[in-house]
Amino acid sequence: MADLLEIPPARLSPDVLNALLEEFASRDGTDYGAVELSLAAKVQQLRRQLDSGHLALLYDGNSEAWDLLPKDSAQLLLSGGTLP
């Protein structure tokens, strides 16, 4: 079983959070719709979703990897469930 933790964005320094958001926004396969956005716009969009509670930042202690997930998906994984 994965050792998952939800990391509150406020617990990270602004520089670290920004670096994580930039890395996520530049991942291959990340889709932001029909219109291409700048990296800064993508990061701003992700930050708003984190701030509003629509996204959650999860850290997996087993793989030492992190990801952003919709809040409901994150809660399912944190409670021991699996994603479909």
In angstroms, the CA 49 to CA 19 distance is 16
Q: What is the pLDDT of residues 4-16, one digit of tens each?
A: 999 999 999 999 9
Token pair 């992700």: residue: 46
For the chain, which domains are there? Answer: 4-78 (1.10.10.610)
Global confidence as pTM: 0.83
Q: How many residues can be counted in the chain?
A: 84
DSSP 8-state symbol, 56 = E
Q: What is the pLDDT of residues 19-72, one digit of tens each?
A: 999 999 988 665 656 677 888 999 999 999 999 999 999 999 999 999 999 999
